[in-house]
Structure 1
């Protein structure tokens, strides 16, 4: 949660710990934190308007959390389309998964640090603005993000920030995505097609999002004798197992 791509954006872990405490009262040593996190992610999406999907269960919790590994694995908001495809392929996700999962940006907020390079110093040219940004949108972003305030929050990621819907893709299609990686989705014929279809068919996007979330939830899963079921999600068990 401290890796730069996610720093300051993940604030629900206290809720996960509360859920884990209640689950432990009812079924001690049965449900892992990894499963709880996967279920909580699904339920949070559903609560704000997304579509339900079935979550495969049976994960174990790991013994190590690595900041170095997170920094090397998480996609950057400055990646090109090719870099994004390569990043997702490294964990078994394809280009469609990458574009669809980018739709999760319909919920959340971003620091000005990821926007400022597009507004004031694009491609290292002082005063240059990213030409892929809608000019009116760029003007609005400048009022929210002065060049010397990188830690300010931009605010909402699309026009309906409190609702999980397809408006992220509507924004991207209109050149109103916040990240360089959002704009990158339009630089590939495949990316443009998926963005266009997701903007046009909200029901299809919500279904595909659930499918891609299941695939992402299966990355490097520990099962059987591997890993443990933590008693508390924020720390490994003292004895190395439940």
Structure 2
């Protein structure tokens, strides 16, 4: 299997003010050479307009951390896909474990958001992954694959570039604990098996990322596995040096 191009999505979560975001992006662009990977910043919605002005047509794409499942209307606080598209947003993180846990997002809501993104030309990065309790019970595969199927129910794609899947074991997010590279490979291979069922024409080239305490010193081993095509990076994405370190490690 020819691997898809490696894709690093930098998930800032609720960090950086709009002005800090602009300065950070300017610093990063000043230090990046030519990239042999895809790279995108997933920023808070208040920072997207400023970042769009800085990133423009650069090598670094712009992404949102969430998206509404609705076109428009009386949904106070929501941000629609059309609004994001107008800002130049190319990607949206959907169904992150923190959204599922703190905002009670179901698989059905995640699927609706993914479909809304695709309809508007935004690539959804659909997140799935088990908690520690499921892994300790040996149920991590069945749990994650059921979550994946539910999160893609009714979601149609026209090419492999329309969709990204991020496997994030919840127990490894922000804890300093990292699944081994083989753990990541095993689950990403299982995920690709489901993608072959759902999207047989595109499954081999759909990007499947790993997320969970990814850093410059472990990213090469993780992304070197056949079914791991990049990473959704949290804490290590907040410092320019962390990002350039990961980019350099993948050269």
TM-score (norm 1): 0.29
Q: Which gives a bigger RCO, structure 1 or 2 (Cα 8 Å, sep 6+)?
A: 1
Higher helix share: 1
Structure whose residues are more often strand by fraction:
2
Question: TM (normalized to structure 2)?
Answer: 0.28
Question: Over alpha carbons, which structure has the higher Rg?
Answer: 1
